[in-house]
Amino acid sequence: MKRVIHNFDSPDRFVAGTVGLPGERTFFLQASSGNKVTSVVLEKAQVFAIAERITFMLKELKRNQLSLALEILPLDERPLEMPILEEFRVGIMSLSWLSDREKVLLQLQALTENVPENDELIEDDVEDAPDLLRVLISAGQAQSFAQRAISLVNAGREPCAFCGLPLDPAGHVCPRANGYRR
């Protein structure tokens, strides 16, 4: 099957979002420009990793580049665009800074059963490679994305005061209480 590459250079919107209740949420990244909307599914830990790395990258850039213009954007609290049509589940992720354009490049490649041994993104010209979402955003957009993503990850289930594991609405079997429900 021919590879699909979804390119977004300065999208109108790039956000993380969820569908479902805490403990059963599905995490999405969604990029949109005009009428074009692309949604990909990923794990909560992947959303957190992207947000954490973006935050670290921007701090390092501000520290090392006096000329970095970081526009302050309001936090996008709107829900994901509907209907949500999942393009693919994310496997390999890549984050980089393009200094010549002063933009953050995020590349998300589809998860496949045949993962390459080196776990690297596959070149664009390989036709039967996994699909790819490529998003190029400003430092301000990246900061706004990271803030929303971290808030989203932290909005999950409350932790058990005894063991720290997430509590389900009906409680959970607590390892620190010898398997008794808390």
Q: What is the CATH number of the domain that holds 126?
A: 3.30.2450
Whether residue 129 lies inside any domain: the answer is yes
How many CA atoms lie less than 13 Å away from 36 in the CB half-sphere?
A: 10
Whether residue 74 lies inside any domain: the answer is yes
Does position 182 have pLDDT exceeding 70, yes or no?
no
Whether residue 12 lies inside any domain: the answer is yes
When pLDDT is averaged across residues 117-143 and rounded to a whole number, the result is 85
Question: From CA 15, how far away is CA 148, in angstroms rounded?
Answer: 7
What per-residue confidence (pLDDT) applies to 167?
Answer: 72
Whether residue 46 lies inside any domain: the answer is yes
**In what side-by-side order are the strands of the sheet with 36-42?**
5-9, 132-138, 103-110, 86-98, 36-42, 26-33, 13-19
What per-residue confidence (pLDDT) applies to 118?
Answer: 58
When pLDDT is averaged across residues 53-59 and rounded to a whole number, the result is 94
Whether residue 150 lies inside any domain: the answer is yes
The pLDDT confidence band at residue 14, using thresholds 50, 70 and 90, is very high
Residue type for 148, please? Answer: R
Whether residue 102 lies inside any domain: the answer is yes
Domain that holds residue 108: 5-177
Whether residue 133 lies inside any domain: the answer is yes
Write the pLDDT tens digit of every residue in 61-100: 888 875 666 777 888 889 999 999 999 999 999 999 998 8
Q: Please state the domain count of the chain.
A: 1
When pLDDT is averaged across residues 106-115 and rounded to a whole number, the result is 86
Does position 29 have pLDDT exceeding 60, yes or no?
yes
**Mean of the per-residue pLDDT values for the chain?**
87
Whether residue 182 lies inside any domain: the answer is no
